[in-house]
Structure 1
Amino acid sequence: MCMRFITACLLLFAGCWAAHTPASEVSSENGVKYADKEFLLKQKFFLDILRNIYQPLGLEEYLPYSSGWISDESKYNDFKVVYKFFDLFKRGFLPKGEIFTILNHWHLTQTRSLFYFLYNSKDWDTYHKNVVWARENVNEGMFIYAVQLSVIHRKDLHGIVLPVIYELNPYLFFTGDIIHDAMVNKLFDAEFGFFSDKKRNSIFGNYTSKFCDKCEEGRISYYTEDVGMNAYYYYYMLEYSSFLGGDEFGLYEDRRGELFFYMHQQLLARYSLERKGNFLNPVGELFWECPQLAEYHPMLRYWNGISVRSRETGSCMRWYNPSDRQNIRDYEMRIKEAIDRGYHVLSNGTKIDLRTSASVDSVGNIVQGNADSIDFEFFKSYGLLTRMAMSQTDYYKLTEGLWPGALMHYETSMRDPAYYQWIGKNLEFYWRYKSYLPPYTFDELNFNGVKIKSLVLDKLITYFDYFDADISNGFPFNTKQSPGKSVWDFSIYARQKRLNHKPFSYTMTVTSEFEGKGVVRMYLGPQFKRIEELQVLKKHYLELDQYFVDLVVGENVIKRNTKEFYYDVRDRTTYTELYKRVIRAIKGDEQFVLDLSEAHCGWPDRLLLPRGLPSGYNLTVFFIISPHNAPKVQQYSTYDSATSCGAGSGSKYGDSLPFGYPLDREIGVNSFITKNMFFKDVSIYHFVDDEMN
C-alpha cells in the first residue's frame, strides 16, 4: 500500500545536518551491509537506556551521567537553542509519571526544547551522556518522543534500530485487560516471564469488540486496533513532526504538504475498504454545526493506572470551548478562499500561486499548520484546532486536569472511528484544490506504443494468525525478587490474532514499441460498471505497489510477487530478541545486518489486503505503466537507503509525478482510458484457520 510514508511512495523512494558525522563504518558483502563494533555498542546503548522506561535506570555504567547535563558550550552546534532548554527546564518540566501528549502546547514546547538539546549535541560522547541524564530527569513519554526523533534526524545515528513503539510503551496499544492479566500472573507466579516455553509467558489479547457486541465499529477493531498499523501512523507523525521545518531539516524537500494529504487519503481509502467488506456504512461527513461523533471506549490505561478518556454518544458534540466553533469556521473559510482565489498574498506582498500542480504542497502545509506553512500566522493550524475540538479539550490546558482521549495521541488516533471523520474533513481541502486543476489529457495519460495485453493474478486470500508482541517493557523488574536473573531473561508476550494474507503473484504481458524505463503503479479499489463512477470511487483506491520496469521492443512479461512490493515491511523483531541479536553480534557469534526490511516507515505487509469474505469480496485492481519522469534530485543520491528512510533528504522518490497519479484529479470521461492502463475485477477470499492448513 502506498504508505511507506510514501517514503517509499514513489518508488522506490540535503541531508539532515552536515555538522553530524556519518554513522560508524560498516562492512559490506554482496551488497549486504553489516554493523561494526562501534555501531553495535551504540545500538546496545539505546536498548539498555529504553528498557523498563518507567523504572529508575539500574545500570551502574550509566548512573554517573544521570546527575547533570553537559554544560560546556563548545560541546554543542547551536548553543543558543540549548541554553533555552537549560532555562526552560529550570522553570519546570512535566514531572515523571504524568500523562504526556505531544498534542498539548506546553508538552510540545518542552519536548521540542528537549529534542533540540539532544539534536545539537556535537558528538556521541556528549549526546549519549545527555540522553542518560534525560532518561532519569524528564517525563517518560516526553523522553521517548525526543530520543526517537533525535535518532531519526541525526546522521550519525542512521541505522540504529529502536524497539518498536508498541513494545516500548505497550500501554497505548494493548487493552487494560491484557496488562491486568499479565500483572496478576506475575504477582502470583514468580516464574512467569522466565519460562523457556514462550506460550507459558503469553497472555491472549482481545480487541474491544469482545466487550461491545452491539457496537458496529467493533466489527473492524481487528484493523483499527492493529498494533502495526497504529505504529505506522505514529512514526509518520513523529518523523515529520509539525514543529520541524526550514532548511535545517529539509522536510519540505520531501513534498511534505503533498505527502500529508496523500498519506491521509490512503489511510482513509484503506479504512473504507475494510468497512465496505464488513457491510458498514461509509464514513460519516463532519459538520461543525452539529458534529456527530461515534461513541468510543478505547479500554486503554496509562502507566499510572488512569484510563484513556472515553467518549459518550450524543446528538451533537459538546464544545469544550464555545468559541472554538467560530474559530474553526473562520480559518476554514480563509483556506477555502485562498484555494478558490488561486493564490495567497503574504504580508510582505509576495504572491503565492495555488493553481499549479506543485501547489498541493503549499496547501497541505497550510492545512496541517506545520513549520513550513507559507503563512502560519494567518492560517494557523486547522488540523490541530479541529482535532482538539473533537477531543473536547483545550490545546493550552495545563497538566493539572489534562485527561487525553484517543485523538490526542498519535499512537491511538486510528483506533477512534471519529478520527476518520477528521481525515475526511481535512481532505475536503485537498479535493477542492484538485478540482481546479484540469483533468489529465489523453497525452498526459498515454504511454505511446505501450499496451497492457493481459494480467494473470493468483487467488487472493486473507486469514488471521497469531502474533506475539513483547510487552515486558511495561512491567517493573525487581532484581531482588529475581536473584541471578537478568532483565533480558524476562519476557511477557501479548498474543493476538492479526489479519494476514497469503503471498500472491501476478504476470502481466505488455507489448511495447518503446525501449527504456517505465513506472508501474498498482491500485486496488471498488468495482464499477461505468467510467463515470470512478469520479467518486477514485477516493477509495489504494496504491499497493510502484516500481521501475525496463521495457524492450516487442512483448514484455512482467512477473512480481507481494514479497517484492516496495511499500511493505515484515513484522518487527521483538525487543528482547533484538537485544540478544546485538549481544551475539558484539561477541562475534553472528553479523548484524543493516537494512530496512523492518523499517519504521513501512506499511505492515500483513495488512496489504482488506479482509476478504468466504464468498469473495469483489474489488478491482488497476494498473498503469507511465514513462519515467525523473525527479529533480536523483533517488537515494543524498542518503543511504539501507540505513535511513530519507526524511529531509529530498531524494526519496524515483518519479516526479503527483502522488496518486492518475487518480488525483477529476476524471476526463472521454480521455481517461488508454492502452497503457488495465482494470481487472478480482475477489478476496477469507479463510478460517482450519481452511489454511
Structure 2
Amino acid sequence: MKLLLLCALVAGASAWPNFGMMADSPGGASNAQKQHDVNSILWKVYEEIRDPHLKELSQSFDPLSGHYDDDGVAAKRLMKELNDHRLLEQKHWFSLFNTRQREEALMLYDVLEHSTDWETFAGNAAYFRVRMNEGEFVYAIYAAVIHSPLTEHVVLPPLYEVTPHLFTNSEVIQAAYKAKMTQTASKIKSHFTGSKSNPEQRVAYFGEDIGMNTHHVTWHLEFPFWWDDSHENHHINRKGESFFWVHHQLTVRFDAERLSNYLDPVDELHWDDMIHEGFAPHTMYKYGGYFPSRPDNVNFEDVDGVARVRDMLILESRIRDAIAHGYFTGRDGSVISIRDAHGIDILGDVIESSTYSPNPEYYGSLHNTAHVMLGRQGDPHGKFALPPGVLEHFETATRDPAFFRLHKYMDNIFREHKDSLTPYTKDDLEFSGISVDSLDISNRLETHFEDYEYSLINGVDDTVDVLDVPISTVVSRLTHNDFKVKIGITNSQNHEVLATVRIFAWPKYDNNHVEFSFNEGRWNAIELAKFWTKLNSGSNIIERSSKDFGVTVPDVPSFQTLMDMTDEALGSGSALHLEDYESGLGLPDRFLLPKGKTEGMDFHVVVFVSDGAKDAAVDGLHESTTYNHYGCHDGTYPDNQPHGYPLDRRVDDERIITGVSNFKAVDVKVYHVEDH
C-alpha cells in the first residue's frame, strides 16, 4: 500500500522510449516511464488512446501471456468474463456499491495487482482500457496504482480532471460542451448548488469542494471495504478504527463550519423519522442521465433489492446491543470483547462493514447499505429507472448535506462505545518530568476564499481529428494564511527523550454562545497536528509550520502539469520528483482551519505531549517522512495510542487532564476575511 506522508492521487504523459531504460524502480521501467504510462492510460479515458505505443499494445497484448504471481488465475477469470460477454458495457454509469459492477472492477484490479513486471501491468491497462466500462476501469487503475508495489512512486492525476462530471455542476459541463463544439477557449465560473433561501447553501463550499471530494474517495481507495487479506500481501492495521476516525473528523469539521456560518451543529438521521432537508445535486453522469434529486421532508422508504427500513433498525439494534454488552459474537459463536482500546477497531469493521467484520451475516453492513438506502430515496422502487444517487459514489457523497447527518448518526453509535470505556486516569496521562510551559501562534489566524481553476478537457466528447481548445472552470474555495505554532517545553529528566506532540482545537461556544463543556468540546475536537520530536534535557522551543501539520495534503499538480513534468524527465533522462504527492489521505491543506467569522470565532486549542517511546509503533518517527497519519507503506499504523488520544474517552472531571503538566490550553480566534 502506497501510504507516504499524506499526499494525493496523481500521474502524467509522454512517449514510450526504450522500455527497459532507467530502471530505477521495480518492474523493469523507470518511475518516469511508469508515470507516463499511467498518465496516458487515464487521459481522455472515454475516447481513443492517444499514446501510439499504448494504443498498439491495446490490440497486440495478450493478458494470458503476462507474468503474474498467481499463475495467471485472475487474468484467466477476467478474460473468460470478457469473452462470454458478461462485463458491463462501455458508456454506462458505474457505482462501487453495485455488487456486480464492483466485482468486475476488482477483477481488473486483481489482474493488475498480480502483475509482476511493468510490461504486464501496462499491457493489461492498455488492453482492458478499450474493452471494459470506463468507470470500472478508472476505479481499478486508481486502486491498483495505490496498492501495487510496481507503482510505489507513481502519482495519480487529480480525479476531478479525469472524470470531471462527478465533481462539476451540470450547468458548467453543458457550457464546456458548447465551448468544445464551437472551438472557443473558455473559462467557466462554477457556483455551488442551491440558493440563498436554503440555509445549507452557507456550507456548500465544504461538502462540494473538489479537494474534499477527492479526500473522501482517496481514503476509501486506500482503505477499501473489500480488502481481503487472503488475496493481498498484508493486513491493514487498525482499518476499522481509521474508518471511525476519518468520518468522525469530517463530521466535527462540518459542525465547526456550520457554527462559522451561524448554523446549529448537524442533527443525526433516524430511520423511523423523515429526512428534512432535500437535495438537488445539479450534477450529471457522463452517460446515464442526471443524478436524482430528493425533496424536503420525505420519510425513508424500503429500497427494492437493497434493504427494508426495518432491516436497518434491526442492524442498528444488534450493534447497539453489542456495545451495551461489551462484545460482538463471531460467526462461530465466539465472544469478541470490545471493552478495551482495540474495541473501536472491531466496531468500525462491523459498522462499515468491511471484510474484516467478524460476523457480517448477523451485524450486516450498516454504513454501506445506508449509503445506498439514502441515495435511492428519490426512486426507491425503481419506478423511473434513475441512476444511482450521489450517496452511492465516494466522489460525490459529501455534496449532499444528508451525508453528514448520516455520519452523525453513525458517529453517535461510535461515541456510545467510546463513552463505555473507563476514562483515562492521571497516571495514564502524565509524562513524568515533561512540562508544557507555553503555546503561541505566530500570527492572526485568517481564512478567505480564493479562485481555483481546473481543466474540463476530459469531460467533453472528443476526436483525434479536432484539436483541443482550453476549457476550464473556476471555483471559489476556502483557504487560510499560513501560520506557525511555537511550543515551550521543559524536560526535567537528565537525558533526551522522544515525545509525541498532539494538537487539537474545538469551537468554544455553540450557536447560542453557550460554552461547550470540556467533555462535549473534546468529542468535537478537530485534530490539527501530530508529530514526534526529540526533547533535550532542560528548555526546548518546538516550532511547527501549518504546512507541516501532517493531517492535510497539498494540491496535486494539474493533469497537464504532471504530463509536462513527466515529458521533461523522460526527454532529459533525469529523475522525476513527485514525492510530495505520492499519497492523498489527508484533507486539503486549505481546510486545516474552519472558516471562522468576520468578527472572530473562538476556538479552544490544546496541546498534549506524551511519551514517544511508548507511543511509537515503528522506529525513526521523529525524522521520518515515509509514514503518514493513517499508516506506513506496509499497512502498519505508526502510533500505539488510539486515534484522538487523549480526547477519545469521556472526561468526567476535566481537572484530571488539564492538571497534568504535559497538557496546555489556550483560546484563539479564527477570523474570516471577506475580500482578500
Q: TM-score, normalised by structure 2?
A: 0.89
In structure 1, what is the Cα distance between the partners aligned to 2:308 and 2:546?
A: 46
Structure 1: gaps (5+ residues): 10-22, 28-34, 194-200
Question: Aligned partners of 1:530, 1:418: CA distance in 2, in Å?
Answer: 26
Residue 644 of structure 1, CA deviation = 13
Q: Could you list the per-position Cα deviations for residues 290-331 of structure 1 after superposition, in whole angstroms to 9, with x for gaps in the alignment?
A: 232411011011112611111111242333349611211222
Aligned to 2:475: 496
Q: Does the CA contact (< 8 Å) of 1:222 and 1:499 recur in 2?
A: yes
Aligned-partner Cα distance in 1 for 2:146–2:200:
35
Q: Give, as a single letter, the amino acid of the residue that structure 2 aligns with 1:238.
A: L
**2:10: which partner in 1?**
none
| Higher mean C-alpha displacement, 624-633 vs 402-411 | 624-633
- The one-letter code sitting in structure 2 at the alignment partner of 1:464 is F
8 Å contact from structure 2 (residues 504, 528) kept in 1: yes
Q: What letter is aligned with 1:343?
A: Y
Q: 1:65 aligns with which of 34, 37, 57?
A: 57
Q: SS state of the match for residue 476, structure 2? A: strand
Partner in structure 2 of residue 333 of structure 1: 317
Counterpart residue identity of residue 479, structure 1: V
Shift of 1:526: 1.6
Per the alignment, residue 132 of structure 2 pairs with 138
Higher mean C-alpha displacement, 354-363 vs 530-539: 530-539
- Retained in 1: the 8 A contact 2:529–2:550? yes
Q: Which amino acid aligns with 1:682?
A: V
Aligned to 2:341: 357
Whole-angstrom CA distance in 2 between matches of 1:585 and 1:40: 6
Report the counterpart of residue 374 of structure 2 in structure 1.
390
Corresponding residue for residue 249 of structure 1: 232
2:193 aligned with 1:208: yes
Match of 1:442 in 2: 426
Which SS does the other structure have where 2:650 is aligned?
coil
Q: How far did 1:410 drift?
A: 0.3
- 8 Å CA contact 2:23–2:29 kept in 1: the answer is no
Secondary structure of the structure 2 residue equivalent to 1:289: coil
Q: In the alignment, residue 108 of structure 2 is paired with which amino acid?
A: L
Matched, 1:162 2:152: no
Cα distance in 1 for partners of 2:2, 2:101 equals 25
Q: 1:359-396: per-residue Cα shift (whole Å, max 9, x none)? A: 21111111111111112222221111222221226999
Q: Please point out which of 589, 592, 609 is paired with 1:625.
A: 609
**Residue 111 (structure 1) aligned to one of 105, 128, 134:** 105
Moved more, 77-86 or 375-384: 77-86
Q: What is the deviation of 1:541?
A: 0.8
**1:640-677: CA deviation from partner (whole Å, max 9, x where unpaired):** 92999866613342x21110011111113042222211
Counterparts of 1:251 and 1:648 in 2: how far apart (Å)? 10
Alpha-carbon distance between aligned partners in 2 of 1:516 and 1:438, rounded to the nearest angstrom = 28
The equivalent residue for 2:16 is: none
- Greater CA drift, 384-393 or 167-176: 384-393
Looking at structure 2, the residues matched to 364 and 590 of structure 1 have their Cα atoms a distance apart, in angstroms, of 44
Question: What SS does the corresponding residue of 1:657 show, helix, strand or coil?
Answer: coil
- In the alignment of these two chains, the number of paired residues is 649
Q: CA–CA distance in 1 between the matches of 2:382 and 2:109?
A: 21
TM-score by length of 1: 0.87
Aligned to 1:282: 265
2:216 pairs with one of 233, 238, 255: 233
Partner Cα separation in structure 1 for residue 246 and residue 388 of structure 2: 25
Output one character per residue of 1:479-505: Cα deviation in whole Å (capped at 9) or x when no partner. 3233xxxx6xx5422111211101011
- Aligned equivalents of 2:462 and 2:167: distance in 1? 20
Question: Aligned partner of 1:676: which letter?
Answer: N
- State the identity %: 26
Q: Quote the Cα distance in structure 1 between the aligned partners of 2:386 and 2:116.
A: 36
The equivalences for 1:604-615 within 5 A come to 604-615=588-599
Matched AA of 2:545:
N
Question: What aligned pairs does 1:371-520 form with structure 2 within 5 A after superposition?
Answer: 371-392=355-376, 401-457=385-441, 458-482=443-467, 490-514=469-493, 515-520=496-501
Give the letter for the 2:590 counterpart. Answer: R
Q: Is the 8 A contact 1:106 1:398 kept in 2?
A: no
Distance in 2 (alpha carbons) for counterparts of 1:622 and 1:630: 19
Which residue, 550, 553, 557 being the options, matches 2:534? Answer: 550
In 2: Cα distance, 1:631 partner to 1:452 partner: 20
Partner of 2:507: 526
Give the CA deviation at 1:72: 3.1
Partner of 1:304: 287
Pair 1:649-2:630 in alignment: no
1:268 and 1:645 map into 2 onto residues whose CA distance is 18
Q: How far did 1:250 drift?
A: 6.0
Contact 1:293-1:418 within 8 A present in 2 as well: no
| Separation in structure 2 between the aligned mates of residue 258 and residue 135 of structure 1, nearest angstrom | 35
2:80 is equivalent to residue 95 of structure 1: no
More displaced stretch, 112-121 vs 94-103 = 112-121
CA distance in 2, matches of 1:420, 1:447: 37
In the alignment, the residues of structure 2 paired with residue 455 and residue 468 of structure 1 have an alpha-carbon distance, to the nearest angstrom, of 37
**What per-residue deviation string (whole Å, max 9, x for no partner) do you get for residues 136-178 of structure 1?**
0111111000011111111011111121111111111111111
Q: Which residue of 2 aligns with 1:122?
A: 116
Shift, 1:88, TM fit: 3.0
Aligned counterparts of 2:384 and 2:81: Cα–Cα separation in 1: 19
